[in-house]
Chains A and B, each alone.
Chain A
Amino acid sequence: MRRRSFLTIAGLGAGTALGTTACGGSSDSGGSAGGTTKVAYQQWGSGTVMKDYLGTVKTAYEKANSGKTMELVPIVASENDYYTKLQLMMRSPRTSPDVVYEDTFLINSDITAGYLQPLDSWLGQWDQWDQFQDVAKGAAKASDGKTYGVPDGTDTRALWFNKDLLSQAGLSPDWTPTSWDDILAACREIKGKLPNVTPINVYAGKAAGEAASMQGFEMLFYGTGSTLYDASEDKWNVGSPEFVDSLQFIKTIFDEKLAPDPSAALDAQISTRVGEEFLPGGTLAIDLDGSWMSSNWLDTGGAPWPEWDAVMAQAPMPTEDGSGDGEISMSGGWTWAMTKNAGNADDAWNVISTLTSFENNLRYNINSAAVAVRKDVAGDPTYTQSNPTLEFFSSLVPVTQYRPQNTDYPRVSNEIQVAMEAVVTGQASPADAARAYDEAVKGIVGEDKTATL
């Protein structure tokens, strides 16, 4: 039956055409050669803090090292897509950048994947390494005890709120909530008094990527006193009632319309819009977000807003019922790392050490409103006076928590986003979404590595 086999092939063709999309690869110009070092970073939204900073570093580097060039490779992508594109590039020596900007939460996973190379041989001879705080040094340390990245800053997370809007709603401009219920009460107050204002933004859903997991879910979940992962036992937490509680909080703010409309909240542009549109525009009262938010509003940011400090204030995120330290924060940060396929490792190291040198790191920390990881930067008056919020966000370091430093964390984080989105859209109840998360985690790490902590 010739026709029959032809039609079967046609039928199969539809599927294989899809399958092949997973196997394509872009062919970039070949790997770095002849003194060129390719530096890959994320470019998303209208902010150009990183781009401008790298531009000046490039000029300085090329001046100091004649014959060497630093080629900037901006990867225009939202959070999850950036990691994917970077990983696809690093897979082949032909397309791999030499120096990459890696989020600390992903670096362990990428080390396991064999994309990066350890920096110990250079760090041992680098007189600047002692200037980095110990916690930061550990951020890019893998389970093999080697260090794979040089951090350029860290961050903490807390509540940003608009003093004017809270005053109009009859709340104190020095608002300091002491529990989740406090936050909900304030939001309901704002909703009642100011119908055109969104009371609170908590990132939730796949489009926001890691921002939803960390700024959103983990700021709640770690405030219950629970944890996602116990490193000493090597066990992931499943069947946790606190997990359901945290999802319930998300459900409450979306069900009661205290949060942005889900169609906006689940859009990939949400983090850009919060920083450049909702907060400066006075349409959002409270935002659970990172210490870097003000970098949007500096002259170097994407949406300059000279009055920001007069309007916006900060409060620590309270724990669920005020127990424990009473407040909670999460910390992460980014590192400069060297790829396995770096054309010239010494040049790549040279670029990394230039990027994280005192002057450059100082300028970047100021422009990105980051919490400094270099002791000399943290103590520098130009830095301490550069941003009125630095003191507040640095004060959260004693109560801050870190994400699981485990290669499986990125996949678990995806499942957290899936659970959040299911709750936001009403597809699943918090209990059902938590159950689905438990099943997914067991599938990822193996049932023997899970327990109810």
Chain B
Amino acid sequence: MATVTRPGAPAGPGVRRRTHPVKVDIARALPLTPAIVLLLVFLAGPILWCVYAAFTNTALTGAGSGNTRFVGLDNFRAAFTSDAFANSVVLTLVFTLLSAVVGQNLLGLALALLQKRSVKVVRTLVGITVIGAWVIPEVVAGYLWYAFLAQDGTFNEFLGTFGLGQNWLYTLPIIAVSLANVWRGTAFSMLVYNAALSEIPAEIEEAAEMDGATGWRRLRWVTVPMIKRTVTTNLMLITLQTLSVFGLIYTMTKGGPGTKSQTLPLYMYEQAFSFSQIGYGTAIALVLLAVGAVFSILYMRLLRED
């Protein structure tokens, strides 16, 4: 157990003093052992196997299956020289920025701000609608959007009256899946911001108003600085969630047409399960993990600067 210290606090002895003999701690930890063993076997085991597989030519058929060899960094080398992989990295970043960092985050904040100022009926209705989108399973949400955006879908029926109908999943697939992800995931950000905004003392807002800060300026100079930590934490959580979105995109476009919406999780799935290259697929999973780690470190830096 690491000790908890606030950044900048003088670290020294006596931060946390043991009040029990060690024996009691062990006795307390005993009931946890089955859970820890289960976690090791069913979570850490497969993870370690995946790390190992990423450095081999493991496959579901052919030589990689009958005669699995250690191939060092070959899988990673193949990935970094592959156009399809580069395309997936770019699409993953586009999807994450568009649907999480911009879409879910800003829309969630906007909804939370609106809810704060509106009457209870409106608050409840908006809450139910937004959270409803979040509650339904990913695959169902994917099909809903597929039905909505398809060539003969609701959206085109409506646009068709203006002669603007087109198959959105075919013409702008990454935009279409990003929209669907915003629709589905905004509730989380909204709830987080609802909680944060309710923490802001009313007198601060009143004082700001007395000083003539209204609307945008109050948001910019008072509200946002007050909830800065929440913003960063929320960004981190939704970024990591969005990086690993699979079901929604798979049901809507399967990563297609071509590879126009093939984000890293879909590319990984295709290589590992459609094309049987498990080793290469797990190598891509490790890369995805690294992307997630990079984002996390960035956000953590932001948090530390407070």
Seen from chain A, the residues whose Cβ lies within 8 Å of a Cβ on chain B are: 1-2, 4-5, 7-8, 10-20, 22-24, 80-81, 83-84, 87-88, 91, 106, 109-110, 112-115, 205-207, 261-263, 266, 268, 407-408, 410-411, 414, 418, 421-422, 424-425, 427, 436, 443
Contact = CB atoms under 8 A, between A and B. Distances in A.
Nearest to B84: A418
B306 interface: no
B62 A410 contact: yes
Contacts of B2: 1-2, 5
A202 B181 CA distance: 34
Interface residues of B, number: 64
Contact of B244 (A1, A4, A14): A14
Interface stretch (B24-32, B132-140, B206-214, B291-299): B291-299
B61 A87 contact: yes
A207 B258 CA distance: 10
A414 B273 CA distance: 12
Given A88-B60, A113-B60, 16 more contacts: A2-B3, A10-B236, A14-B241, A15-B244, A15-B292, A16-B50, A16-B285, A19-B282, A19-B288, A20-B47, A22-B282, A113-B64, A205-B256, A207-B256, A262-B257, A410-B62
Contacts of B241: 14
Given A87-B276, A263-B167, A266-B257, A15 B285 contact: yes
Closest 7 CB pairs of A and B: A15-B289, A11-B296, A113-B65, A425-B258, A19-B285, A23-B46, A14-B240
* Residue among A2, A11, A418, A424 having the largest count of chain B Cβ atoms under 10 Å: A11
Nearest to A265: B257
Which of B3, B47, B84, B281 is most buried by chain A, counting CB atoms within 10 A of its CB? Answer: B47
A24 B62 CA distance: 20
A81 B83 CA distance: 24
Contact of B289 (A12, A266, A421): A12
Contacts of B256: 205-207, 266, 421, 425
Contacts of B275: 411, 414
A8 B257 contact: no
Interface in B3-24: 3-4, 7
Contacts of B292: 11-12, 14-15
A8 B258 contact: no
Contacts of B150: 263
B41 to A, nearest CB: 12
Given A12-B292, A112-B66, A422-B258, A262 B4 contact: no
A2 B6 CA distance: 10
Contact of B4 (A2, A80, A418): A2
B123 interface: no
